[in-house]
């Protein structure tokens, strides 16, 4: 009987074309492709990895979850050792465990938390420049919190996404938007039951424009009403975005 193995991973997405394997011969251009290469050699059989969700090109993860099925008899600690020895240094496997056969990393997830890191202040931290986006303007956090309150709850987030045409529902529930303010960084924290293509980066861009005074907090309701992407803010670049945690029952 095949085992079902769960992985908890972190990765620097800077040099990858996102999570999702681009066909059978994507090689090392995607996180999934690179992991499947090493897993297949480790298990001595073809391995298909199921991720909790996709991250786009240049986006990072502190807590990505995936699972795969295998006939391998290797112990979990042996798998963890092997993976961290042979994977590139920008992908790390934090935890390996056996899980029930019915566990599915995407379908069983109840919510996800993302963090968008914004560098602020007169001088951005040079050591974090690859993992933050620098905002030149001073931000009004009070205005941003007012807009964030309007974003929370169950809404059709099509206007806050890059989704074109789809037969699938674009309704999502955002349960949390927090702002962690420090001397040289502002972390925008988003938690919800699912996120559309570019949704977090567009929501973050909209909040930034509200914080700089380029738009009003109430403009959020107009985006929901019209479902018009053009009425939302900019799509912030990928390097500031981290998948922080995938939450299960």
Q: Which domains does the chain have, with CATH numbers?
A: 3-99 (3.30.70.580), 111-247 (3.30.70.660)
pLDDT tens for the chain, 249 residues: list them.
899 999 999 999 999 999 998 766 555 699 999 999 999 999 999 999 999 999 999 999 999 999 999 999 999 999 999 999 999 999 999 999 999 999 999 999 999 999 999 999 999 999 999 999 999 999 999 999 999 999 999 999 999 999 988 889 999 999 999 999 988 999 999 999 999 999 999 999 999 999 999 999 999 999 999 999 999 999 999 999 999 999 999
Tokens of 33: 């492709």
Is residue 42 a contact partner of residue 135, using CB atoms and an 8 Å limit? no
Contacts of 9 (CB under 8 A, 6+ apart): 35, 61, 63, 64, 65, 66, 91, 92, 93, 94
pTM of the model as a whole: 0.94
Q: What is the set of active-site residues?
A: 56
């Amino acid at each position: 009987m095949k085992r079902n193995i769960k992985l908890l991973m972190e990765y620097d997405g800077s040099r990858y074309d996102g999570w999702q394997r681009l066909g059978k011969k994507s090689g090392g251009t995607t996180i999934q492709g690179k992991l499947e290469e090493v897993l297949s050699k480790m298990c001595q059989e073809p391995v298909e990895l199921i991720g909790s969700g996709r991250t786009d090109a240049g986006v990072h993860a502190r807590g990505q979850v995936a699972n795969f099925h295998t006939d391998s008899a290797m112990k979990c600690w042996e798998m963890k050792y092997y993976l961290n020895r042979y994977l590139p240094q920008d992908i790390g496997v934090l935890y390996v465990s056996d899980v029930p056969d019915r566990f599915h990393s995407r379908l069983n997830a109840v919510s996800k938390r993302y963090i968008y890191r914004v560098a602020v202040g007169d001088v951005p931290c040079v050591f974090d420049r690859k993992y933050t986006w620098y905002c030149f303007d001073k931000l009004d956090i009070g205005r941003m919190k007012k807009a964030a309150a309007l974003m929370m709850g169950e809404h059709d987030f099509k206007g806050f996404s890059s989704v074109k045409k789809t037969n699938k529902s674009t309704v999502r529930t955002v349960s949390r938007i927090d702002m962690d303010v420090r001397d040289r960084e502002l972390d925008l924290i988003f938690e919800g039951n699912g996120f559309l293509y570019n949704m977090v980066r567009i929501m973050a861009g909209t909040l930034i424009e509200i914080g700089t005074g380029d738009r009003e907090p109430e403009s959020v309701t107009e985006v929901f009403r019209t479902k018009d992407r053009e009425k939302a803010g900019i799509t912030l670049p990928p390097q500031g975005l981290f998948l922080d945690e995938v939450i299960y029952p």
